[in-house]
Structure 1
Amino acid sequence: MQQVLDRLQTKDVLRAVLHSILFHRLFGTVKPRTFEVLDVTMPGVDDSEITQRVEEKVDAFWRGVEGGANKRGQILVTFSEKKTRRTWFLSGEEEVPWEQWIINAEIRQPSDRERQKFEANLAATLTKSLQTMLVHSSSEKGRSVVPLITDASSISPFPIKITVKVGGVEVA
């Protein structure tokens, strides 16, 4: 997903997009919530741990682009499954990714004259992103990549990793 964001709405947009991805890919009991961004209603997850994780990653992205010359970055959301790994000498678990969402974001500061068109384009991009999430997660292909769910005791039976990169460098 490619997002060109206004400085003023960067955090709101990224927060909503991350929550929407998680909403469509968490398989435990999810309490829904919504995010309104530029008249686009996006689904989210009403869970304190998820909210805190999203906030940390959005803040890391913001610090990364605000602190440097590069105003482009990525947020990667990777879903994995734990598989037992056995070799001749070792045994243990490893995380094997089964799906990754990549959010490419660029921060711009539109002029007052450009703002209306800029916001309309961003709203259209958000709508298209949401549609992509819906179509993928409900399609046969999107459902077939999900591993067998063996533990339904938490909000996510699979490890989730959210990585922030600015200028190709991971930001903590």
Structure 2
Amino acid sequence: MNNHPVVTIDLVLDRHTTKEVLRAVLHSILFHRLFGIVKPQTYDVLDVTMPGVDDPEIKQLIQDKVDAFWKAVDLRADKKGEITVTFTEKRARKSWFLTSEEEVPWEQWTIKAAIQQPTSERERQKFNSDLASNLTETLRTILTHTSSERGRSRVPPITNNQGISPFPVKITVIVGGIEVS
């Protein structure tokens, strides 16, 4: 029985800010869910300051996933896709003759992103204003969930304090129903 919470974030982006926004949102999620020693960093996107993780491996992972999203979405006519961040815990799985480990999800974040292009300067200003409001709301969603009783109670006991995260983290990019890497 696996009934982990799924937090969905809907974003409408433009070609100029897609990578920057996705990078900042992914960093913000990880900043609030990595329980090791995290060196903080900030990302300023459209006058919204979002927290991030200053770790070379995390930065590279996020960069790779954002680039994969961008390449896959850029080839599609509908310009839509999603990035999913799944946090799991390792549990012993016992069968008749052996014991193995399995990764069981305890929380999932889904960022649904669509790319649109404003056609006039007036549209661009409104678009940027709406996106800044959406980013502020996204940050509020992240903070509210991670600090809520429900969000805190889903975190499994930390039994490993090595590295930046005691739990496996998987970031998946899905565009057109197909996982891309």
TM range (shorter): over 0.9
The total of aligned residue pairs comes to: 172
Runs of 4 or more, structure 1, over 4 Å off, are none
Compute the displacement of 1:56 (Å): 0.2
Matched, 1:146 2:155: yes
- Counterpart AA for 1:169: I
Calculate the TM-score normalised by the size of structure 2. 0.93
Which of 76, 81, 89 is matched with 1:68 structurally? 76
Identity %: 65
Q: Following superposition of structure 1 onto structure 2, how do residues 10-29 of structure 1 map, counting pairs within 5 Å?
A: 10-29=18-37
TM-score (norm 1): 0.98
1:122 maps to 131
**Retained in 2: the 8 A contact 1:70–1:166?**
no
SS of structure 1 residue aligned to 2:16: helix
Q: Root-mean-square deviation (CA), in Å?
A: 0.8
**Partner residue, 1:168:** 177
**Whole-angstrom CA distance in 2 between matches of 1:162 and 1:49:** 13
Contact 1:72 1:105 in 2 (8 A): yes
Matched, 1:45 2:53: yes
Deviation at 1:90, TM superposition (A): 3.6
Matched residues in 2 for 1:22 and 1:60: separation? 19
User: Which residue is 2:38 aligned to?
Assistant: 30
Structure 2 equivalent of residue 6 of structure 1: 14
Report the Cα distance in structure 1 between the residues aligned to 2:178 and 2:98, rounded to whole angstroms: 32
Q: Which runs of 5+ in 2 are unaligned?
A: 1-8
Q: Structure 1: which 5+ residue stretches go unaligned?
A: none
